[in-house]
Structure 1
Amino acid sequence: MQNNIGLLLSKRAAITPDNEAFVEWERQRRFTFAELNERSNRVADILLGRGINPGDRVATLLKNGIEFVETYFAIAKIGAVMVPINWRLVAAEAGYILKDSGASALVFDAAFDTTVEALHAGSRGELSCNFWLRVGEGDAACPDMYSDYDGLLAAAQTSEPATGAADDDNLFIMYTSGTTGHPKGAVHSHDGMLWSQFTSMATSDMRGDDRFLLPLPMFHVGCLNPVSLLVHRGATGVIMRELDMSGMFQCIEAERVSIFMAVPAVLQFMLQAPERTRCDISSLRWIATGAAPVPVSLLNSWSELGISIHQAYGLTESCGPGTLLLPADAATRVGSCGRPQMHTQAKVVDARGESIPMGSSEAGELLLGGRHIMKEYWNNPQASAEALQDGWLHTGDICTWDSEGFITICDRKKDMIISGGENIYPAELENVLAACPEVQEAAVIGISSSKWGETPLALVVPAQGCAPTSDSLKRWCKEHLAGYKVPQLYELVDTLPRNPSGKLLKPQLREQFPDEAPF
């Protein structure tokens, strides 16, 4: 049997047609699997009617909503390739992705009219996009340029389209954050997404009667993977259009949410919302998190509410899965991202590419393998060759792994600080600082030093009600780090810049703190 991700929805609609598939929290729209499949078929009919063929790229600039979900499955069914665009990007950045991917169509939310108008004005014939499909109410500034999503949907056919792709054919191209240079488009296949789902289902406890809250942007693999997984498993997705800490508690109570995923910073902010003590969240079984280690204090705070946390490590290039730290190991493996997930292989290599055995104290680069790893970077053979070698994805993350297979990320290769000839990995320092009771979160960057070449600068967001000092933070670090690793410089900040997936934007911090150390 050939695998097409879009047909998962067709099959699910045949098995449990009347079960609730997705709920839109803010608009209180509810859709069964049969209704979702019918709407997806209508979108497929619209795209086919506009000449979208198998292999053609269809970009989306959509907020979270049923339109994102049904468009994703429609594109998959007809064999086109989805290119989800980060809606936080400015027009020039979105335009680069449209041009690089060669997208033939763009499905966009009316909330981004201004961005799309700027794309039209600045394209100068460089874009191959000739079909612009606008989702949402209100008058468009350029109505002659755009087609109306709802109008075309109502008139479209509901029959199943011919399957246009399968197996190793391209399913979506997801562009990386692009914190330095242009973003790269990670290409994933139908088989890759299927194995990503197998991996997630086999490693964590997902049930058919679960209700999974989706507050993170769907243009990110950390949310697109669950969207696919929920249809595959037959569970219900509860969609939040935008992240709202207070609204999350209200939604959990009203919709009896059992699982959700959020980055650690969001989990921290949620605990400060007054709704934490006002809403009944007893339906929650567990939370998935990633992008950064979870401080012990945060684990304990959620544990006191009766909720466990699954800590995941993964990449856009791995279609999500990588490693997972289960709740049973969290207290004794602080800072670790766990063991490789089911159907995911891992190894650690030194600078020569030689394998480092488990239990070694030597740090090396983490490599991942498995059928859910990306095929390539779109239109970028050099970057593809550097990232994919002999069947392994080179993550660029430096780690250690102990004798039981637990992996601890030390840092990105490019973020390593060389101070006085010693290698210092900022992530190790950040983990130590995050465990300090006075600290909510921390980031460490290297700055120039006339004495040491480089020296660590710690940027610290104080915990609520705390006023840490350089001396108190230094004392804490001295208790937990070798002397040469202890930062001598500290700055208190209100927030740390992060990308939509929750990862620290180190280049922004370096721009914000460019000065040389006073020693």
Structure 2
Amino acid sequence: MQTNIGLLLKKRAAITPANEAFVEWERQRRFTFRDLNQRCNRVANTLLEQGIQPGERVATLLKNGIEFVETYFAIAKIGAVMVPVNWRLTPAEIAYILEDAGASALVHDAEFDASISTLQQQGSDSARCRLWLRVVDEPASAMTATSLDYNQCLVRASDDEPAVGAWDDDNLFIMYTSGTTGHPKGAVHSHDGMLWSQLTSMATSDMRGDDRFLLPLPMFHVGCLNPVSLLVHRGGTGVIMRDLDMAQMFKCIASERISIFMAVPALLQFMLQAPERPDHDLSSLRWIATGAAPVPVSLLRAWRELGISIHQAYGLTESCGPGTLLLAADAERKAGSCGRPQMHTEVKIVDARGDEIPPGSPEAGELLLAGRHIMKGYWNNPQATAETLQDGWLHTGDICTADSEGFITLCDRKKDMIISGGENIYPAELENVLSACPEVQEAAVIGVASTKWGETPLALVVPAPGAMPTADSLRQWCREHLAGYKVPQLYELVDALPRNPSGKLLKPQLREAFPGPAPF
């Protein structure tokens, strides 16, 4: 049997047509699987009528909503390739992704009209998109120069099943990850890879057909795109939150009888401390999936007292989500671990020579993953692909150990990545921006512990001769050149940065000199 992710929706609509597929919490819009499949077909036929061909890239700049879901499955059905774009990015950052992916179309929310107008007016390669579809709740609002009305197109389009345009190892989506060299890389995943990602998640976790899964995290992340696919495959209900609002989240869990959701550890802590929590019934919750950082035992126990289990996951965009999982039964005795390999996922730890380090050894090494859900490679970047994918193994760049039971514990990040509030931030990108500031001679960025965010970037800046930069002036510069969540809030002026004789920056010395924690 051949695999097309879009056809999973067609099959689900045939099996349980009247079951609730997705709910938009804020707008209280509800869609059965029959509804969703028909809307998906209308999007697919609109794209085909506008000349989109199999293999062409269709980018999306969409907040969480049914339009994201139906566009994803529509693109899959016709064999185009989805490029979900982080809507927090600046126009320049968006333009880079559109250009690198060679996007032929962009589906965008009206909320981002300012960014879209900038892209359309600047005449950059991003403006080569020949199709711009604009999603707006209320027609009659001002349109950008070349965008078509998404909803009007759907009204006119047929809901007949389109011809299937891709199978198996054909490309399904390209998801861009923050780049360690200042530019993001596009991880390419296939239809078959996403299928195995879903099978892996379903086989490792307690996923049920009657689950109601809250989706509060941005859908442009693989950690949310995977559950969107999984819910259609399994037949559960996804409850979509457009924006993460704590008070609304509690109301949503109680009202919609949510059984599962995903959250970063910082959000779990915020929820426990929220004054409105005791006012809402959380008894429907069975378990919560989390990742990005270990969960303290105190936090595990606090949620367990509420009758709710915490499953801690480790995964990457490059692995289409799955990697390892620490189930609730092992959470306390293996505190700090990210668990054992998920079903259909193989792991090994290797030393600097590439030799495997056996479980139980105190020696740390790089974590490697393998499985049919691993990416095909990086889009348009054979060098990075060759460095990351070797002999069927994905080199994660994360340093870890494995105990005698096979539980993995991360020790360090080989690529110096900072995870702040669940968002991946790469110091090199921030350093490039800071170094371009006229007030800065050179800069280095490290992560320091934060009680609120898990980690937060600290920028260490050597001022340019005669310059007197301040935290405010540096922060303003970064705001003009970076997405908001990447902008460092902490700055320290230093006389020089430590380097070895070959000129390599010695970040371990910086971490020793500035251990933190952050004041927030």
Query: TM-score per shorter chain, which class?
Result: 0.7 to 0.9
Match of 1:435 in 2: none
Match of 1:228 in 2: 229
Supply the AA of the counterpart residue of 2:290. Answer: T
Q: Is the aligned partner of 1:312 residue 2:302?
A: no
Supply the AA of the counterpart residue of 1:52. Answer: I
CA distance in 2, matches of 1:235, 1:412: 35
CA distance in 1, matches of 2:152, 2:233: 29
Give TM-score scaled by structure 2 length: 0.82
CA gap 1:287/1:459 in 2 versus in 1, 3 angstroms: closer
Match of 2:255 in 1: 254
**CA deviation after TM superposition for structure 1 residue 506, in Å:** 9.2
Match of 2:134 in 1: 134
CA distance in 1, matches of 2:393, 2:349: 11
Supply the AA of the counterpart residue of 1:461. Answer: T
Match of 1:23 in 2: 23
RMSD: 2.5
CA distance in 1, matches of 2:447, 2:76: 46
CA distance in 2, matches of 1:299, 1:91: 40
Q: Is the aligned partner of 1:113 residue 2:107?
A: no
CA distance in 2, matches of 1:64, 1:207: 23
Map residues 397-436 of structure 1 onto 2, 5 A cutoff. 397-415=398-416
Match of 2:146 in 1: 145
Aligned partners of 2:55 and 2:79 also within 8 Å: yes
Match of 1:448 in 2: none
**CA deviation after TM superposition for structure 1 residue 177, in Å:** 2.5
Match of 2:491 in 1: 512
Aligned partner of residue 172 in structure 1, secondary structure: strand
CA distance in 1, matches of 2:45, 2:114: 28
Identity of aligned residues (%): 73
Match of 1:245 in 2: 246
Aligned partners of 2:44 and 2:75 also within 8 Å: yes
Aligned partners of 1:172 and 1:188 also within 8 Å: yes
CA gap 1:460/1:378 in 2 versus in 1, 3 angstroms: closer
Supply the AA of the counterpart residue of 2:323. Answer: G
Q: Is the aligned partner of 1:333 residue 2:334?
A: yes
Match of 1:281 in 2: 282
CA gap 1:203/1:130 in 2 versus in 1, 3 angstroms: same
Unpaired stretches in structure 1, ≥5 consecutive residues: 417-425, 431-442, 446-453, 464-504
CA gap 1:376/1:306 in 2 versus in 1, 3 angstroms: same
CA distance in 2, matches of 1:355, 1:224: 33
**CA deviation after TM superposition for structure 1 residue 140, in Å:** 5.1
Match of 1:492 in 2: none
Match of 1:451 in 2: none
**CA deviation after TM superposition for structure 1 residue 264, in Å:** 0.5
CA distance in 2, matches of 1:514, 1:307: 45
Match of 1:298 in 2: 299
Aligned partner of residue 67 in structure 2, secondary structure: helix
Where does structure 1 differ by over 6 angstroms across 4 or more consecutive aligned residues? Answer: 516-519
**CA deviation after TM superposition for structure 1 residue 339, in Å:** 0.1
Aligned partners of 2:171 and 2:189 also within 8 Å: yes
CA distance in 1, matches of 2:267, 2:336: 18
CA distance in 2, matches of 1:220, 1:126: 22
Q: Is the aligned partner of 1:196 residue 2:181?
A: no
Match of 2:64 in 1: 64
1:461 paired residue among 427, 441, 451: 451
Match of 1:479 in 2: none
CA gap 1:165/1:119 in 2 versus in 1, 3 angstroms: same
Supply the AA of the counterpart residue of 2:2. Answer: Q
CA gap 1:506/1:351 in 2 versus in 1, 3 angstroms: farther
CA distance in 2, matches of 1:457, 1:4: 41
**CA deviation after TM superposition for structure 1 residue 211, in Å:** 0.2
**CA deviation after TM superposition for structure 1 residue 244, in Å:** 1.2
Match of 2:462 in 1: none
Match of 1:51 in 2: 51
CA gap 1:126/1:25 in 2 versus in 1, 3 angstroms: closer
Residues 464-485 of structure 1, C-alpha deviation per residue, up to 9 Å, x if partnerless?
xxxxxxxxxxxxxxxxxxxxxx
Supply the AA of the counterpart residue of 2:192. Answer: D
Aligned partner of residue 164 in structure 1, secondary structure: coil
Aligned partners of 2:113 and 2:144 also within 8 Å: no
**CA deviation after TM superposition for structure 1 residue 248, in Å:** 1.0
Match of 1:4 in 2: 4
**CA deviation after TM superposition for structure 1 residue 124, in Å:** 3.4
Give TM-score scaled by structure 1 length: 0.82
Aligned partner of residue 414 in structure 1, secondary structure: coil
Match of 2:122 in 1: 122
Supply the AA of the counterpart residue of 2:175. Answer: M
**CA deviation after TM superposition for structure 1 residue 141, in Å:** 4.4
CA distance in 1, matches of 2:78, 2:362: 50
Aligned partners of 1:179 and 1:507 also within 8 Å: no
**CA deviation after TM superposition for structure 1 residue 272, in Å:** 1.8
Aligned partner of residue 451 in structure 2, secondary structure: strand
CA distance in 2, matches of 1:171, 1:289: 25
CA distance in 2, matches of 1:139, 1:364: 58
CA distance in 2, matches of 1:304, 1:51: 56
Aligned partner of residue 13 in structure 1, secondary structure: helix
Supply the AA of the counterpart residue of 1:49. Answer: E
Aligned partner of residue 225 in structure 2, secondary structure: helix
CA gap 1:462/1:176 in 2 versus in 1, 3 angstroms: closer
Aligned partner of residue 121 in structure 1, secondary structure: helix
Supply the AA of the counterpart residue of 1:17. Answer: P
**CA deviation after TM superposition for structure 1 residue 143, in Å:** 4.3
CA gap 1:243/1:506 in 2 versus in 1, 3 angstroms: closer
CA gap 1:238/1:457 in 2 versus in 1, 3 angstroms: closer
**CA deviation after TM superposition for structure 1 residue 379, in Å:** 0.3
**CA deviation after TM superposition for structure 1 residue 330, in Å:** 0.4
CA gap 1:139/1:88 in 2 versus in 1, 3 angstroms: farther
Aligned partner of residue 415 in structure 1, secondary structure: coil
**CA deviation after TM superposition for structure 1 residue 459, in Å:** 4.0
Match of 2:355 in 1: 354
Q: Is the aligned partner of 1:394 residue 2:384?
A: no
Aligned partners of 1:102 and 1:127 also within 8 Å: no
CA gap 1:462/1:73 in 2 versus in 1, 3 angstroms: closer
Aligned partner of residue 512 in structure 1, secondary structure: strand
Q: Is the aligned partner of 1:383 residue 2:391?
A: no
Aligned partners of 2:398 and 2:412 also within 8 Å: yes
**CA deviation after TM superposition for structure 1 residue 298, in Å:** 1.1
Match of 1:343 in 2: 344
CA distance in 2, matches of 1:210, 1:157: 32
Aligned partners of 2:99 and 2:125 also within 8 Å: no
CA distance in 1, matches of 2:101, 2:486: 27
CA distance in 2, matches of 1:458, 1:392: 31
Residues 115-160 of structure 1, C-alpha deviation per residue, up to 9 Å, x if partnerless?
1011112233554311000001355544441100111101110110
CA distance in 2, matches of 1:37, 1:506: 37
Aligned partners of 1:246 and 1:274 also within 8 Å: no
Aligned partners of 1:110 and 1:134 also within 8 Å: yes
CA gap 1:96/1:462 in 2 versus in 1, 3 angstroms: closer
